Amino acid sequence: MTGAPVPAELQHWAAAFDRGHHYDAVYDRASAARYLARNRATATVLVVIGVVSLLLCLVLVIFGGGFTRLLIVLGLFGLVAMLVTLPTIVSVGKRLRRLDAGQGVFARVSRDGVSFGLVERIAWSEVLAVIVFDDSARLRRTLGIPVLGWGARMSMKAGNGARGLSLALHDGSAVRARIREERERGFVRLWGPKTDPARKGDVSLILDPLLDEASMRALTEAVVTAAILNGVPVITPRSSAEYVKTLGRLLDPKWPAGL
């Protein structure tokens, strides 16, 4: 299948793919190990904060004194911080571990498809759309906001990022079934009713933690070029809210028509 014309700045990728070449996005495994270690440590710290905050609130409710209200507020703040941040940290840790299955190769891109450590080649005919996401500007603004900035920094040190790629899949169930270990099949997220044997899905990648600037740019360009060559739409949302809406419109059969 031939898609839209490839932009001039991506022609070198198109020529390489036409010659049968592929692109391997590689990462430093030692750096990945450090991110995973920080992720586990951060998750542990958040759990401790949550437990201590809960105990503090209980003790103060029972034995409260003059500063009870202030301390209860602090305890509740710690508890809320844990409840809000911990799921993200755990989710990021799972993504990092699944990408690290590539043993140094983040992804391999060719004119025929994209492959990962957990999933052999996903053919372009299986891809509904490619979503390229860059939330760096919002992240920079968030870092300057008290409290929120602290949470964002903690999340980044634990492996979260602001730049990503998503492959929306026609049949996520089929791609997911190709992952050997059942506990790793969450690498492909499924949408729609569980009774549907061919649910749509997506593979969403956080690029920042494991790839440097040059590798992020190269991987994005390679994926975009190969997608264009195969007639796969490339979508670039302008915000995190638009990114969520894009995935919802593409993959969720119950997504409200007006959104």
- Looking at residue 153, its pLDDT comes to 66
Of 189, 204, 188, 186, the residue nearest 94 (C-alpha): 186
CA dist., res. 178 & res. 185, Å (int): 9
- Looking at residue 152, its pLDDT comes to 64
Is the torsion defined by CA of 115, 233, 204, 169 positive or negative? negative
- Looking at residue 136, its pLDDT comes to 72
> Can you name the residues that pair with 133 across neighbouring β-strands?
164
pLDDT below 70 — which residues of the chain?
1-3, 29-33, 35-36, 39, 53-54, 56-103, 139, 142-143, 146-161, 258
Q: Kindly give the interhelix angle for 213-229 and 11-18, rounded to the nearest 10 degrees.
A: 70
Encode pLDDT of 155-172 as tens digits.
666 556 678 899 999 999
- Looking at residue 250, its pLDDT comes to 93
- Looking at residue 171, its pLDDT comes to 96
Q: Quick check: pTM over 0.85?
A: no
- Looking at residue 42, its pLDDT comes to 72
Instruction: Beginning with the edge strand found earlier in the chain, give each strand of the sheet holding 105-109 in spatial order.
Output: 23-26, 105-109, 113-115, 122-123
CB 190 within 8 A of CB 200: yes
257: how many CB neighbours lie within 10 A of its CB?
5
Query: What six digits make up the tokens of 98?
Result: 């699944």
- Looking at residue 135, its pLDDT comes to 77
Q: What spatial distance separates the first Cα and last Cα of the chain, rounded to whole Å? A: 31
Q: What's the one-letter identity of residue 61? A: V
Q: Where are the domains of the chain?
A: 8-28+103-251
- Looking at residue 161, its pLDDT comes to 66
What's the distance, CA 156 to chain centroid? 12
- Looking at residue 24, its pLDDT comes to 93
- Looking at residue 209, its pLDDT comes to 74
- Looking at residue 74, its pLDDT comes to 60
169: how many CB neighbours lie within 10 A of its CB?
26
